[in-house]
Structure 1
Amino acid sequence: MIDELKGTLNHAGEEEVKSLLFQTFFRIHMLEELDQYTEEQFVADLKKTYHDFLNVKRGQTKIKNSTNDKVVHILFDDSAAGSLKWVLKEMGLQDEEMVISFSDVFSIGPIWQLHNQAGLDYREEWLKNHLLLDDDYLDEYRHHFNRTLSMISAIPETASIIIWTGENAHEQIALSYVLYLLRDKRNDITAINTTKQYKKQFNIPEKDNYPLHTGEIMSEKLQLIYQNSSKTPALSKEQREKFEQKWQALAATQEALRIWENRDIKSVDESYYDDLIINKAKMLHQEQKNTEFILSARLIGEVICYLDQYISDVFVEYSVRRLILKGVFEIKGVPKAMRFYSVKLK
């Protein structure tokens, strides 16, 4: 075990070791400065950091040692990743092709310098302080994010890489981000545009907003898209460099919201959907005999159904809470989750 630990640390990257050291120092600081942070919690946190680090590195080693994976797929939605795994099993390719997935929505929250530790710290802190996310998701956010980064870093040079992406801000940002992470790899990389392929193969009018993202595509149709995209050429060096430059520009932005407009990513202020939320609230009030409180979940649902963008309902909920603080809405209940409170326009 000692030899394994030495080998793991010797092969760890500089940023990984710095992150490990920072987490250790930070917890020692908390132990000395905060009375409510007990030695028991300190030991538990150190053990968790230790096991998380080893699990990530073991997973990375597993990928490096895998000689069967001829193709590695990268997706940006757990539902889409699950569908593709089903597709690969149906095609008998589950032992030859691997699926990596990001559990995140890059159209919301800051993406400033997300390719380094400071950027990830900043994003994680923003998510915790602004969005009502599940505690388990937040507790595991950094672990899952770093594990995905490690898996991408460990892709063998012999494997072809396929990145699945739709025409929406989230997946297009993620495409640029991942291509930046892969900038030093010589693997053949293909990008499958699921929006284009879906509309082309199933005769969907260009003006239709469906599918908004890859996760909306049924497994059977995803299989047809994969089978019919086998001749898609790998990205050229020039194309990859454009995506890398695109990411560098995005990583310099500070906004917490991005939309897809005119086939490009546009950073906008977090208040971008405020007028839409207010107008939807007015519409719901008009359906009432008297101006009564509206369950926030219903208002948020109305907004989401109207949008032609892929953003999470938790961001719309955050916008509703901002409007409460601005005095636009009255509130009844406790805003610990959208189902626990109601709002009405003042």
Structure 2
Amino acid sequence: MIHILFGQSSAGSLRAAFRKKGIDKKEQIISFWDMFSIGPVLRLHEETGLEARFDWMKDVMNDEFGEFQEYIQSFQKTIDRILSIPEELLIFIWTADNAHEQTGLRFVLDILKGKNNDITVINTTKSYGELFNAGRRQYTVLHSGEINPDKLQIIYDQGEGRVLTDHDKEDYGDEWNFLTENRETLRIWRNGRIVSVPEDYYDPFIIQKAKKLHRRQETKDFMKSARLIGEVLGHLDQYVGDAFLEYRLRKLIEKGVFDVEGSLIAMRYYSVKLR
């Protein structure tokens, strides 16, 4: 069987689960190193679309350690691996209720278009709620990477995956086509659907959290940018990643909303203060 996931954390947890069960040699895992809730997906199935996405992501990723070229190579290698899946293998696609994994699901199904593999979709948010949310304590999974290996294994063994029909694949294909014609570079998950929103959608939220942190200071002063990004991430009900939020913080610095102290080469090197 082939398992496709959208994130190194979730893929690592599933590998650990399979090793513990002794089936890691039989179950193959393919994962993307990317964040599909952000960045252009316009004509992503074409070379020009890929180049446009990589150009945009280069602005978002502070390439302090020279990982950007590795990211491009990894993305293209993952696509090649999916394209080379033999048609007799069963495919499991792991997703959760967030724009990142749901957009990734639709992208992968577009790559697989024309293949005759049986495809099962495992929704970790849904399965986690059904298997583990008993009693008063309720936990909603934001993304698959939050789930530990033991619980991922239980989801695989006992969860209700959805086997896709040809009609399901057509519906996902229509949704993907709609997404790829949209020029917005930020997507959120609302009421069971992917919604495209302007790139500056979370700018007011970043400013709001900065004001909150300033109120905790004796006198208004600079704060570590990582502290602010952490505060925003901790209260966000979406999965967009810290790199995108830090990118928006740099845009707000450019606009003069924040003063900056230090080097913008990476998040840990600078501090910010609202003007």
Tell me, yes or no, whether TM beats 0.5.
yes
Structure 1 residue 203 displacement after superposition: 1.5
CA distance 1:296–1:232, change in 2 (3 Å)? closer
Q: Does 1:187 align with 2:117?
A: yes
Structure 1 residue 111 displacement after superposition: 1.4
Deviation digits for residues 198-243 of structure 1 (CA, Å, limit 9, x no counterpart)? 01100168996632100110000000000013x6352000001111
In the other structure, the counterpart of 2:24 is 94
Candidates 135, 138, 150, aligned match of 2:68: 138
Contact 1:199/1:206 (8 A) holds in 2: no
Structure 1 residue 122 displacement after superposition: 0.6
Distance 1:206 1:181 in 2: 42
Distance 1:198 1:101 in 2: 21
Contact 1:112/1:250 (8 A) holds in 2: yes
Q: TM-score, normalised by structure 1?
A: 0.76
Percent of residue pairs bearing the same amino acid type: 47
SS of the residue aligned with 1:109? coil
Contact 1:124/1:141 (8 A) holds in 2: no
In the other structure, the counterpart of 1:167 is 97
Contact 2:64/2:265 (8 A) holds in 1: no
Distance 2:141 2:45 in 1: 28
Deviation digits for residues 50-88 of structure 1 (CA, Å, limit 9, x no counterpart)? xxxxxxxxxxxxxxxxxxxxx100000111111111222
Structure 1 residue 154 displacement after superposition: 0.6
Higher helix share: 1
Q: CA RMSD in A?
A: 1.7
CA distance 1:292–1:205, change in 2 (3 Å)? farther
In the other structure, the counterpart of 1:39 is none
Structure 1 residue 142 displacement after superposition: 2.0
SS of the residue aligned with 2:72? helix
CA distance 1:123–1:222, change in 2 (3 Å)? same
Distance 2:23 2:68 in 1: 33
SS of the residue aligned with 1:158? coil
Distance 2:49 2:182 in 1: 11
CA distance 1:196–1:256, change in 2 (3 Å)? same
Candidates 322, 325, 328, aligned match of 2:257: 328
Q: Which has the larger radius of gyration?
A: 1
Contact 2:64/2:266 (8 A) holds in 1: no
Q: TM-score, normalised by structure 2?
A: 0.95
In the other structure, the counterpart of 2:48 is 118
Which runs of 5 or more structure 2 residues have no equivalent in the other structure? none
CA distance 1:205–1:246, change in 2 (3 Å)? farther
Structure scoring higher RCO (CA < 8 A, sep ≥ 6) equals 2
